[in-house]
Structure 1
Amino acid sequence: MNKPVILITGALSGIGRAAAVAFAKKGAKVVVAGRRDEAGKALAEELRSFGSEAEFINADVRKEDDLRALVDETVAQFGRLDVAVNNAGTEGKVGPITDQTAETYAATFDTNVLGVILSMKHEVRVMQGQGSGTIINISSTYGHEGAAGASLYAGSKHAVEGITKSVALEVAKSGIRVNGVAPGPTDTGMLTRFTGIPENKAALVADVPLGRLGLPKELADAIVFLASDEASFITGHILNVDGGHTAN
């Protein structure tokens, strides 16, 4: 694909940022979305230093008007939308189920689940008109296994995987591929917040057969692969990038 147009939500840190850099280095046109203007503009400028055409658009994935505008502005700027990476997410409130409330549920699911649904609604709208496109949703190894103390996060990522597979079936004949990437423990700010203390992070690493945390770039490489023509016969798939964790 000649200079594809890429849209990434939650692009200002961690895996989303690494994916933006990876696509930019390949010459793609990249739109990065998030809620922090200064960081977003700085990232877009960095992507341009790699020779990419890049723009930042402020968007909150919990708000449909923001997502509609995000997709429409991307198309207005670059003429089409080839790849959407729905990466925006939150770890939510970590703790036992007895500590959870309707508010902590909404805070987690509005971003992790509703955000993916609304993003895909508008991405698919545009891609169906083109007759082509690729969507990649970011899940987690907790999207297909349990996690004591992270019931809301795990539940939200289970939902992401079910939605990913279902939409893949809906749009398969429209020329649109829909897949997911499920990171294992990855060296990001979210993991540090999630684990809280070094001992908890070390315990996660101990469960990884390769014996270390994943790097954001390694996740980005998997995202770039699924977006590429080399993955043209892959849809409805969740790719584990977890150092062998789910092989245990």
Structure 2
Amino acid sequence: MTALTDKVIVVTGCTQGFGRVLVGLVAARGARLVISGPWPDEAEEQAADLRARGVDAVATGCDVTVADQVESLADLAVATYGRIDIWVNNAAASTPVGRAFDLDPGEFRRAIEVNALGTFHGTRAAVTRMLDTGGVVVNILGRGDNAGPTPYTTAYGATKAWVAGFTSSVRKEYADSGVQLVGFNPGMMLTDKLTGARAVGEAGERMMKPFAKVQAVFADPPEVAAERLVAVLEKDRPPAKVNLLGPVGASRHAVRYAARAVRGVKAR
């Protein structure tokens, strides 16, 4: 038995990367899962794999930019398990690295729709179904959530600033409802989205040159952030915001990288 045993957990965009790792961890702690992603076959395959290991899991395709699909995802959870205890708005989209006006407008729009509108749809679906039972909604933050400039990742940074402000506002609006909202910044993670990043335009190409070094210093496997989020979800009163790569986290990463470099020199 763990704090997550029999908890009903919905995760959007969880068939790959961080979301997939998170699902595996909460499943190992006895949670009941509602798997979703934009590709129904992929979501069902993941759920079938979990069921083969004894996990209680169902799946459905869900494009978070479409309100009706998100509502259907929430309806599936309630119809199957009777309630939703935890909802994680993990679905996200990024753009190539480059100046804002070098980006394809369609890619820019997609990032805004998935990250901002998708978070709105998911939060609305979860909160309105948790009012009688209580629950936790986690909105995934990222670079830019402090509303500072994020040059060369403009769309992503702007949407994460929006998600942070939106989460704080809804938290206050529903402060006495029993629904808790958490903003979780997992930091830089070594997923395909990061390692497969590409650039557009000359400015974007220049920005990509030190990218390997930045990854080496600051990026962690997704298991690091997923374990931390699980620990947050196991609390009776989770914190309002968690940032794994704030000033303190960044300093720790830099010190760790320097220590590894020193050990490497000594080893030679």
TM-score normalised per structure 1 = 0.88
Name the residue aligned to 1:147.
150
User: Residues of 2 paired with 1:5 and 1:137: CA distance?
Assistant: 17
CA deviations over 1:89-135 (Å, ceiling 9, x no partner): 011243102224653432111000000001111100100132x1001
Q: Which of 9, 12, 15 is residue 15 of structure 2 equivalent to?
A: 12
CA deviations over 1:186-223 (Å, ceiling 9, x no partner): 11011023356985442323553xxxx21111111122
Number of residue pairs aligned between Structure 1 and Structure 2: 240
Q: Which of 230, 236, 241 is residue 240 of structure 2 equivalent to?
A: 236
- Residues 12, 134 of structure 1: CA spacing in aligned structure 2 closer, same or farther, 3 A cutoff? same
Name the residue aligned to 2:230.
224
Do residues 75 (structure 1) and 78 (structure 2) align? yes
Larger Rg over CA atoms: 2
User: Residues of 1 paired with 2:226 and 2:61: CA distance?
Assistant: 22
Q: Secondary structure at the match of 1:117?
A: helix
User: Residues of 1 paired with 2:210 and 2:42: CA distance?
Assistant: 29
Paired residues of 2:186 and 2:244 also in contact (CA < 8 A): yes
- Residues 140, 195 of structure 1: CA spacing in aligned structure 2 closer, same or farther, 3 A cutoff? farther
Paired residues of 2:90 and 2:139 also in contact (CA < 8 A): yes
Paired residues of 1:141 and 1:240 also in contact (CA < 8 A): no
Q: What is the aligned-residue identity percentage?
A: 28
- Cα deviation for residue 143 of structure 1 reads 2.1
User: Residues of 1 paired with 2:52 and 2:173: CA distance?
Assistant: 38
CA deviations over 1:62-106 (Å, ceiling 9, x no partner): 000001111011100111100001000011243102224653432
Paired residues of 1:96 and 1:149 also in contact (CA < 8 A): yes
User: Residues of 1 paired with 2:184 and 2:251: CA distance?
Assistant: 13
Query: Match for 2:47: what amino acid?
Result: A
Name the residue aligned to 1:245.
250
Query: Match for 2:151: what amino acid?
Result: A
Moved more, 30-39 or 151-160: 30-39
Moved more, 145-154 or 109-118: 145-154
Moved more, 162-171 or 95-104: 95-104
Paired residues of 1:6 and 1:31 also in contact (CA < 8 A): yes
Matches within 5 A, 1:1-248: 1=3, 2-100=5-103, 102-130=105-133, 132-144=134-146, 145-194=148-197, 199-205=209-215, 207-208=217-218, 213-228=219-234, 230=235, 232-237=236-241, 239-242=242-245, 244-245=249-250
CA deviations over 1:18-56 (Å, ceiling 9, x no partner): 111011001100011101223212211222244210111
Q: Secondary structure at the match of 1:143?
A: coil
Moved more, 3-12 or 147-156: 147-156
User: Residues of 2 paired with 1:166 and 1:246: CA distance?
Assistant: 30
Two-structure CA RMSD over aligned residues (Å):
2.2
Name the residue aligned to 2:265.
none
Paired residues of 2:39 and 2:62 also in contact (CA < 8 A): no
- Residues 172, 4 of structure 1: CA spacing in aligned structure 2 closer, same or farther, 3 A cutoff? same
Q: Secondary structure at the match of 1:24?
A: helix
User: Residues of 1 paired with 2:53 and 2:88: CA distance?
Assistant: 20
Structure 1 unaligned residues grouped into runs of 5+: none
Q: Secondary structure at the match of 1:173?
A: coil
